[in-house]
Structure 1
Amino acid sequence: MLKGRGPEIESLIWLVRTDPVRGGVLLLSGDPGIGKTALLRAAESAAVAGRRRVLSIVGVEAEAMFPFPGLHPWFRPVLNPCARLSETQRDALLGAFGLATQSRPDPFLIALAALELITVIADEEPVVILADDVQWLDPESHETLTFIARRITPDLPIVIIAAARIGHTGPLIDADFPNLVVKSVDDDAAEQILRAHAPHLTDTERRRVHREALGNPLALRELPAVVRRSPGQRSPSLTDRLERAFAGRIVELPPPTRDAVLIATIDPVGKLTEILAATSVLRGAAVSADVLEPAESAGLLCVTEGRAEFRHPLIRSGILQSESMIRRQAAHGALAEVLTSQPYRQTWHQAQSIIGPDDAVADRLEANATIALARGAVMAAINDLERSAQLSSSSGSRGHRLLLAAEHAFDLGRADIVTDLLAAATRTELSEHDTARLEWLREIFNDGVPGDAVRVFELCDVALRSAAGHDADLALNLLLGASLRCWWADTGPAARTRVITVTRGLTACEDDPRYLAILAVAEPVLCARTVIDSLGKFDPAGIADGDALRLLTMAAHAVGDEPTAADFLAGAEEILRHQGRLGLLSQVLSMAVMVNLTLGNLDRASAAAEEGIRLAVETGQPIWRTGTTACESVHQALRGHAEQALELAAEAELAASRGQLNDLLSCVQLARGIAWLSAGRDRDAYLALRRAFDPADASYHQRERFGALMFLADAAVRAGHRTDATQILTRLEPVARTTPTPILGVHLRYARAVLAEDDDAEDLYLLALCQDLSRWPLAKAKTELAYGSWLRRMGRADHARTLLRRSQEDLDRIGALAWADDARAESRANGDEAVWATPDSVDVRQRRQNVADLVAKGLTESDIAQVLCVAPATVDLYRRYSTGS
């Protein structure tokens, strides 16, 4: 029985023994020695008794530099079900453990494979994953565990219980999972523990131990010996006192045992044969298997099944602090001598055994990085390259290796590491080519720097030098970074022209998707014709490169060819998801939201937004998270959820305003305009949408404004700003003659008809509807609604009926609730009683109930409209439907 832990054990038993099984995640956090490991053992006993499959993982601080050391023992007992995974996932997972040849799997593909394997096992029997000391897990294992934890749902029979020290950070620790803080035991439990482990203490000694242990179970067991050895000494913190308690024991050990314990401390594998062999090298004389017996008797470690394991992580840290650097380096050197059959580990220990430059070891460390990358262990590769740079005698070699490490850190989305590595690289003597790579790496985390035309010119100059040096690949990367600056924020026409000029000089790269993306993103209006013509040469079904499809999607979306963008999107999403390239997938999903919203595929947009925001957070891409949030605000506005739309718009605006990101601020105004329209606040809607067309406003964007034109026309008519809106159309007519961008054509034809005088309106409506709008269902339904409404006002009820009914059905199917309600209201005004009834959807049922509740409370129609953020006409419609009138 664990003393004083009844409530904690009860919670753990409930979690692992619930019947039926429910998935869940729980974090145990607390100070060192507080009893987290003991509670995990109690959970394990309960899980085994409940016929759960238990998988255990333990973080070891010394292992963090190696590829997937935490994950390997966790999955070793359950690799047989790997045969049921897809070939790609199976190769990635086995490759992470060095059990298969794999060409650099994406870390997220490994995580996907691990999740799939655990799910396969859970289909046969419930799984309980116990993770101890997660703060010491290697980064790859920690990320994988967090990836799995984020995807556990109540209906998935997988439970994760993880223990971590308070004061540490990490993906799982920082995630918003339920946290059970393990606190000190009460006085009664503390006294029971103390009497059980130190019954011979005097009253004075007992009081001192109580005072210093503070209810920490490990301290209650270990401090009595310290109190007796040093009655007048006290370390500044409880952790220090415990570490010194363990370190004090090692000085009392025989010298051979002390050497063996030091070897075990720096060797995270803990294999007894390795420890004995390295100890023999360190001492210069052979040692036998009983050399560790004094350490076992002292309670420092135990030897079972040919492995030495420390009783507590504080023992390892206490021993390391008690030994000098020279002794630790000598131990690493001894281990390196005996690990001849394991070159990766051998090189790592060699690197820890020296201080000054050693080019031979530096070269082997760079080779280690290649091995780590092949196993998907990117952080291990970064650490190898950084240490390799430290050991390089040449300044140029140091800089080159630091830049390699920075590239890999970028792949992980770690802007903090990239910044530090680049700062170190600038202090070296870089070659001209590495200087160009430095500029690119400086750029890739700064997509949203506003109006920095000078930087765009600098990037173009470096791209020119790279191209002259026969590195067109680097030149395209630099130009793509420059073009993104032109997209996210206004850099001015001169900078945009410079990007286009330099790009067009790379004539040999015209078939590269990056080439098209650069033209489209830098100059979406002037280059639209070139880009659209070139996109027609690519067959989405014939492209197997997910990143190429992503870039082609970007190009199509930038020039407003949303149907073509949708065609590339489908393949990009499928391939990137299959490959586990979640960083790029989050970007594709962000584009998918706006593309599908524009076309009218609201359900698909909703799913993409939910996943895209989550992946942008997980992969460390704040600008894409903000972009997806802005798109989701548009989605909620189209659904008629004005309040949610405005909240999301405010969140996106706050983030986008920091970088003056015109592109995202334009999306914010679009969301606000649609939300205000659905709420009947027409003047507010017009003012919000009007900002996107004002070149002096931060919300102005030369391409994004096209997608707001349809809604601007609606708001102008309702709010009495027809003349002002017509002037905006007049200014856009020359643009439409210059560029064939489809989105502008669709919106412009709608706006012309809506804003026209009655004598001209019908011809313009017919012109808009005679276009092929089969890929633009939202625009088609809104045009039919607007034309049907105009026909009704003209007294042509029979002609209006078909259009209004069809638009209502299409808008209901799309999910554009506010406009579907408008169509119903227009049909009712047209005398068509058959379409009064609203569809039976969750949104509609909730809105009907809300209206009925407020009517019952005696609120007026105007008050209800204000409370629910809907138009008064919508309230009247739902009130009539609810009352059957």
Structure 2
Amino acid sequence: MSTTYGRRLVGRDDELRSLFGHLNAVDSGGRAIGLFGEPGVGKSALQAEVVEHARSAGFTVLTARGSQSETRLPFAGLHQLLRPLLPRVDRLPAVQRDALLACFAMTDSIEVQPFFTSLAVLELLVDSAGQTPVLVCLDDVHWMDQPSIDVLAFVSRRIAGERVIVLCTSRPESLPFADPHTIEWVELEGIDEAASAALLDARAPQLVSTVRDRVLREARGNPLALLEFASALESGRYAWTEFDEDLPMTTRLERTFAARAEHLVPAARAVVTIAAVDDGDDLNDVLTAAGILFGSPVDLVMAQPAFEYGLLTVLGERYRMAHPLVGSALRQGMPPATRLQAHAALARVLADQPDRATWHRASSVSGRDEGIAAELERAAGNAKRRGAVASAAAWLERAAALSPDPRSQAARLLSTAELSYELGRFRQVEQIKAQVTGMVLRPRDQSRLAGLQGIFHDGSTGEPAEVRHLVGLAQHAIGAQDVDLAMQLLVGAARRAWWRDPGERVRHEIVRAAQQVSLPVRDPRLLAIYALAQSDEQRPVVIEQLALWPADAGGRPDLAGLLGIAAFCTGDFRHAVAFLSTPVQELRAQGRMSLLAEALAIRAWAEVYLGVFDAARSADEAVRLADETGQSQWAATARIAVALIDAVRGGRDTREDLLAEAEHVALRTPNAASSLLAGVQLARGIADLGTNQHERAYGELRRVFMPADPAFQRMQQVWTLSYLADAAVRANHRAEARSVLTSIEQIAGACPSTGAVIALEYSRAVLADRASAESLFQAALGGAAGELPWHRARIELAHGSWLRRQRRIVESRGPLRAARATFDSVGARAWAQRADQELRATGERGWRPTSSPRELLSPQESQIAELAAQGLSNREIGQRLFLSHRTVSSHLYRVFPKLGIASRNQLAAALADHGDQSSPRPA
């Protein structure tokens, strides 16, 4: 219903001025804007004005409207939006084209890869925007199917540099795109009193003053209410006076719409009844089903009154409700028996569309029915294979409601919860867990329920009783020969032990339970459990077995991921980077961004511990992806890595903000995540060391070694040791640090990992007495750190400083110069300055730090530049990084002048001029 009178939209001058301004500025970049407000407030009318303005300005306008009946039809909204652009789909890369067409069942493939679908939509819109700017209008997006919403959210987050405007409308109680980075929501309130009076007087000038005043008061500036009540009162079909009791606004509006249908002849009433519960837009389907409900065939002529009364609109063979409240009013007033009959009629008509038919058949029964529940479960499986996880969850929830057997109902609810976890629906998972907790469960489902506890915190709730419960369930699964479930539960228990140590006895129980499973000692799940549980006894076994596996785990990315976790948690960081690079490639190729974010975050920390300080390798992308997928724990993990890298390179401005945000995530978990807090303290300590605040650095780092402190983490203290020793020497805490060193030597054992060896060799040297220091420095230089530039430079700095303090001035200059050169080459400015200060104390002057244009690049620009230097096209880079090819082009446009080059062919040489000398990038 329009809120206009004549050709002017009443009372919306400010809103139109703002929205037209965004359209006029589209050449400066795109944006996503959402209008929300109560039904009838004029969202759609305002959007229609913007559409008219955009078309007159030469925009390509794409529209889609959500429908309550289409909410569970995967990709219905997306297909509606993209119809005008589908002829261009052959221009897309094959993997994107196939993924998009599979969504719409326009190809033989039934496998949908959601993020390649999203990238395909982004490319179509950006390509179109290359010719004319694009306006994407999404009306009633709160009723749009979730798979379509997920794709549109992906697109909205990536149009800042494109000539694309997204404008959507939604009701306030169910806003999609909750992430503030996705869309800018603007609340649309009612029009003011003067505009309301003008609109009402123009529409119903003959109203009695008392009734007019009551309408104005009750409408509260809602344009649809003003127009509909005026129409109803003038017609005489809706009796209402100033003495009637107040009713909720939405009820009033729905009654107004329902009143229109009361005067339809039976055949037309059957048509609108079917349309109200339909989940499609095919007019022939509705007419056929209406004939079943009516008792004899119904044609378009017989349905005409439904269109004349303004309940339905039609375009060709497609129809829709004239307004969403029409369907709401009809469904609300429909007798239950009639609704069941309408769904049954649609189920018969849609026999050639099994999934839709199953849904309507499920809606046509009033009691429980195992046969239909099983059909829904199979349909959910089909939806999941097509990438429509949200639709699969809805179907499973309905299947649970129809299950006669309480145990089957619980199993299906748990499946719903597992899919809801993948979708990031915390509230729904918690509701299902609460519901299932009081139900009769099969033993396997009891274990599945336990596995869902704390799942959104990635096992960060490490209460001993909770971990023991998981171990007990795993032992039951072992007795039942359910190896996969047992290992799944034990990995979950071990993850909890990593994030927050439940104590030595509980960690041993996890390991003993894993040893009861009949698996070969090289099984990656077993190795991951040993490492996550921080088993001192099994650490040599893990290190030995990791060395026997090829870097790609024999072509199994899932196993490589587990091996990468085992390597990282053991401190075998070289193997961790190698193993994690395999699943990173595979997950990127599959577009599985949630798991990709986790793998990148872990790999980023493996690189940090090796001394590779380049956020573009893993950390920056991990932050962006984890934020996008709603994984706060992994986003925090990656943020700490970015902050630490900034600290090493001297960028203190953003460091504390990142650390404070990560610290907040750690502390708000049910058990403070000690692994995150330990990382925060390490980053702060390294930053303070770089600026010679040694006492403060020692205080920050010391927390990681104190069992009573929330930042204590058993294995991370091993890898933090060398920095604590560095601070201790300068802050005069040498004796205390030596005591810490002794305890860490006991944890590392007789077969320490690479990470432990680096930390121990450095710490022994810097904390040594005068008699043994020289030999220990030489041992450290020839040890595990010798091939790692960052760690070798730290040893050289410490050795040179020690030589200077021993008044061996000439000898000290060699290692100090080497340290300064290495720190300078990797961009560690503060550390290079530390080495130069030591050299100046020996009487040497004249050094100037080098600078490189590459340091002007952001991590994402650096990542794009490196891929371009390798010969990848813009489309290939965009596909790898989930960006449009035009966004990649824009980044390169900014990169060239920063590097002082004019063409793509010069990239490789420009990047090599000041490349990272830390370690080779994994393949």
TM-score normalised over the length of structure 1 = 0.89
Change (3 A) 1:426 1:58: same
In structure 1, the residue matched to 2:189 is 183
Change (3 A) 1:17 1:446: closer
Provide the rounded CA distance (Å) in 1 between the counterparts of 2:463 and 2:722. 32
Change (3 A) 1:576 1:634: same
Q: Where do residues 366-515 of structure 1 align in structure 2 (5 Å cutoff)?
A: 366-442=377-453, 444-445=455-456, 447-515=458-526
In structure 2, the residue matched to 1:687 is 699
Determine if the alignment matches structure 1 residue 327 to structure 2 residue 327: no
Following superposition, the deviation at residue 55 of structure 1 comes to: 2.1
Matched to 1:682, the amino acid is: H
Following superposition, the deviation at residue 836 of structure 1 comes to: 3.8
In structure 1, the residue matched to 2:625 is 615
Matched to 1:129, the amino acid is: V
Match of 2:298 among 263, 277, 287: 287
Unpaired stretches in structure 2, ≥5 consecutive residues: 1-7, 858-923
Determine if the alignment matches structure 1 residue 242 to structure 2 residue 253: yes
CA displacement 1:787-812 (0-9 Å, x = unmatched): 22233334444443343333223223
Change (3 A) 1:179 1:386: closer
Q: Where do residues 299-314 of structure 1 align in structure 2 (5 Å cutoff)?
A: 299-314=310-325
In structure 2, the residue matched to 1:218 is 224
Following superposition, the deviation at residue 487 of structure 1 comes to: 0.8
Following superposition, the deviation at residue 539 of structure 1 comes to: 2.1
Change (3 A) 1:809 1:439: same
Change (3 A) 1:158 1:810: farther
In structure 2, the residue matched to 1:337 is 348
CA displacement 1:434-489 (0-9 Å, x = unmatched): 33333333464464455533333332232233233332111111110111111111
Q: More displaced, 307-316 or 651-660?
A: 651-660
Change (3 A) 1:175 1:50: same
Provide the rounded CA distance (Å) in 2 between the counterparts of 1:844 and 1:297. 65
Following superposition, the deviation at residue 173 of structure 1 comes to: 7.3
Change (3 A) 1:180 1:622: closer
Following superposition, the deviation at residue 223 of structure 1 comes to: 1.2
In structure 2, the residue matched to 1:743 is 755
In structure 1, the residue matched to 2:34 is 27
Provide the rounded CA distance (Å) in 2 between the counterparts of 1:505 and 1:123. 62
Determine if the alignment matches structure 1 residue 198 to structure 2 residue 211: no
Match of 1:713 among 725, 731, 749: 725
CA displacement 1:632-672 (0-9 Å, x = unmatched): 44333333344643444343334323413222222222123
Contact 2:553–2:560 (CA under 8 A) maintained in structure 1 = no
Provide the rounded CA distance (Å) in 2 between the counterparts of 1:159 and 1:305. 29
Determine if the alignment matches structure 1 residue 57 to structure 2 residue 64: yes
Contact 2:293–2:345 (CA under 8 A) maintained in structure 1 = yes
Q: Where do residues 664-703 of structure 1 align in structure 2 (5 Å cutoff)?
A: 664-703=676-715
Contact 1:599–1:775 (CA under 8 A) maintained in structure 2 = no
Contact 2:698–2:731 (CA under 8 A) maintained in structure 1 = yes
Change (3 A) 1:446 1:220: closer
Matched to 1:640, the amino acid is: G
Matched to 1:477, the amino acid is: Q
Contact 1:126–1:157 (CA under 8 A) maintained in structure 2 = yes
Contact 1:456–1:482 (CA under 8 A) maintained in structure 2 = yes
In structure 2, the residue matched to 1:655 is 665
Determine if the alignment matches structure 1 residue 111 to structure 2 residue 118: yes
SS at match of 1:834: coil
Following superposition, the deviation at residue 728 of structure 1 comes to: 1.4
Match of 1:251 among 262, 265, 274: 262
CA displacement 1:595-619 (0-9 Å, x = unmatched): 2222222223x66334323433433
Contact 1:398–1:425 (CA under 8 A) maintained in structure 2 = no
CA displacement 1:149-183 (0-9 Å, x = unmatched): 12222x22222111122333322576563333333
In structure 2, the residue matched to 1:627 is 637
Contact 1:526–1:739 (CA under 8 A) maintained in structure 2 = no
Following superposition, the deviation at residue 352 of structure 1 comes to: 0.9
Matched to 2:81, the amino acid is: W
In structure 1, the residue matched to 2:851 is 839
Match of 1:164 among 166, 170, 173: 170
In structure 1, the residue matched to 2:272 is 261
Determine if the alignment matches structure 1 residue 143 to structure 2 residue 150: yes
Contact 2:536–2:749 (CA under 8 A) maintained in structure 1 = no
Matched to 2:190, the amino acid is: S
Determine if the alignment matches structure 1 residue 784 to structure 2 residue 793: no
Unpaired stretches in structure 1, ≥5 consecutive residues: 846-885
SS at match of 1:26: strand
CA displacement 1:5-25 (0-9 Å, x = unmatched): 233223323323436352211
Determine if the alignment matches structure 1 residue 356 to structure 2 residue 367: yes
Provide the rounded CA distance (Å) in 1 between the counterparts of 2:577 and 2:541. 19
Change (3 A) 1:208 1:415: closer
Provide the rounded CA distance (Å) in 2 between the counterparts of 1:184 and 1:724. 68
Following superposition, the deviation at residue 510 of structure 1 comes to: 4.0
Matched to 2:171, the amino acid is: R
**Equivalent residue pairs, number:** 843
Matched to 1:346, the amino acid is: A
Q: Where do residues 71-90 of structure 1 align in structure 2 (5 Å cutoff)?
A: 71-90=78-97
Determine if the alignment matches structure 1 residue 208 to structure 2 residue 214: yes
Provide the rounded CA distance (Å) in 2 between the counterparts of 1:341 and 1:7. 50
In structure 2, the residue matched to 1:231 is 240
Determine if the alignment matches structure 1 residue 296 to structure 2 residue 307: yes
Q: More displaced, 400-409 or 449-458?
A: 449-458
Provide the rounded CA distance (Å) in 2 between the counterparts of 1:294 and 1:73. 27
Determine if the alignment matches structure 1 residue 4 to structure 2 residue 11: yes
